[in-house]
Amino acid sequence: MPRITEIRIDKSDHTLELVAGGEVVRSYRVAIGPGGPGPKLYEGDRRTPVGTYRVAGRIKGLFHQFLMVSYPNEEDRRRFAELKRRGEVPPGRGIGHSIGIHGVGGGLRAGEHKETDWTLGCIALDDDEIDEIARHTPDGAKIVITD
């Protein structure tokens, strides 16, 4: 597989596509957060964010393997500040953090976990799939998440 330059995630289709040189080279089915469409609003809304991010690092052993998503971005910060100003953020809630693309770490059976949206806002695949993605995707690669 070629070096991946972009990861595209479509929340409504539950798909993650790997892109190299502008061409989709691989596609996977994923589980996401059950919080519904639209951008992540605040910590605990169980919503997978929408926007453009980067692979900001990786943690081996967390949910098998965890590619960190650079959430929140500037747009997320502006939205959160406006929601907070309007009093639409529950007391004590922050913007959220630690969003990632990850495996299941053996807690759930391969494939079966994708039947429901169960994450706190992350994107989950089977362990062998996240291994393949991590192998071919460098830190700094673009991540685009859409509804």
pTM of the model: 0.95
Predicted local confidence at residue 112, as pLDDT:
83
Q: Is the peptide bond before 72 cis (omega within 30 degrees of 0)?
A: yes
Residue pair 146/9 in contact by the 8 Å Cβ criterion: yes
Q: Output the CA torsion sign for 48, 84, 78, 97.
A: negative
| 49 found inside a domain | yes
User: Which is nearest to 42 in space by CA: 1, 74, 66, 77?
Assistant: 77
- Each residue's pLDDT, cut to its tens digit, for the chain (147 residues) gives 899 999 999 999 999 999 999 999 999 999 999 999 999 999 999 999 999 999 999 999 999 999 999 999 999 999 999 999 999 999 999 999 999 999 998 766 777 889 999 999 999 999 999 999 999 999 999 999 999
Q: Which residue has the tokens 């596509």?
A: 17
Amino acid at 10: D
Predicted local confidence at residue 97, as pLDDT:
96
| 106 found inside a domain | yes
Q: Output the CA torsion sign for 86, 89, 95, 100.
A: negative
Predicted local confidence at residue 105, as pLDDT:
85
Give the domain CATH number at 139: 2.40.440.10
**For residue range 80-122, what is the model confidence (pLDDT) as tens digits?**
999 999 999 999 999 999 999 999 987 667 778 899 999 999 9
Question: How far is residue 36's CA from residue 62's CA, in Å, rounded to a whole number?
Answer: 24
How many domains, in total, are found in the chain?
A: 1
Range of the domain at 109: 6-146
Predicted local confidence at residue 107, as pLDDT:
65
| 1 found inside a domain | no
